[in-house]
């Protein structure tokens, strides 16, 4: 797929980064790439996130249909978050980000 309209193409960068950017969204999506996770599992792997922030981010990702919330069991309550079918499409992008990051960290993440 070629980029037809360059201006349009470049604006879309900002839109995508709105979804995947910020402090937590990319990481949440990355964790959900592997397999579905429960609220507290996410909270544990994202060790510094607070409940309220995690809730907000998950609700946003639900709103844009990237993630779905599934109540697995009512009592005791088990809730699972997973990528939607559509959300799965982000996997390759996340993979590209991770690969670039691992390859270039030595140069670029050096805060001297």
Partner DNA sequence: AATACAGGTAGTTTTTAAGATACTTACTTT
Partner DNA sequence: AAAGTAAGTATCTTAAAAACTACCTGTATT
Instruction: Write out the DSSP string of 11-37.
Output: HHHHHHHHHH-TTTHHHHHHHHHHS-E
Residue among 65 and 69 whose Cβ is closer to its own copies: 65
Residue 78: strand pairing partners: 73
Angle between helices 25-34 and 6-20 in degrees, nearest 10: 80
Distance of closest approach, residue 105 Cβ to its own copies, in angstroms: 7
Q: SS3 for 79?
A: strand
Distance of closest approach, residue 79 Cβ to its own copies, in angstroms: 21
Which residues in 21-40 contact its own copies (CB under 8 A)? 21-23, 26-27, 30-31, 34
Is residue 69 a contact residue for its own copies (CB under 8 A)? no
Interface residues with its own copies (CB under 8 A) are 1, 3, 6-17, 19-23, 26-27, 30-31, 34, 45, 64-66, 86, 89-90, 92-105, 107-110
């Amino acid at each position: 797929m070629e980029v037809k309209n360059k201006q349009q193409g470049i604006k879309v960068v900002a839109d995508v980064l709105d979804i995947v950017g910020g402090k937590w969204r990319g990481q949440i999506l990355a964790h959900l790439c592997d397999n579905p996770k429960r609220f507290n599992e996410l909270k544990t792997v994202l060790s510094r996130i607070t409940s309220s922030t995690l809730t907000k981010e998950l609700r946003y990702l639900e709103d844009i249909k990237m993630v779905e919330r599934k109540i697995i069991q009512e009592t005791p309550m088990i809730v699972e978050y997973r990528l939607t079918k559509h959300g799965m499409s982000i996997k390759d992008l996340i993979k590209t980000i991770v690969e670039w990051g691992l390859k270039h960290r030595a140069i670029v993440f050096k805060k001297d």
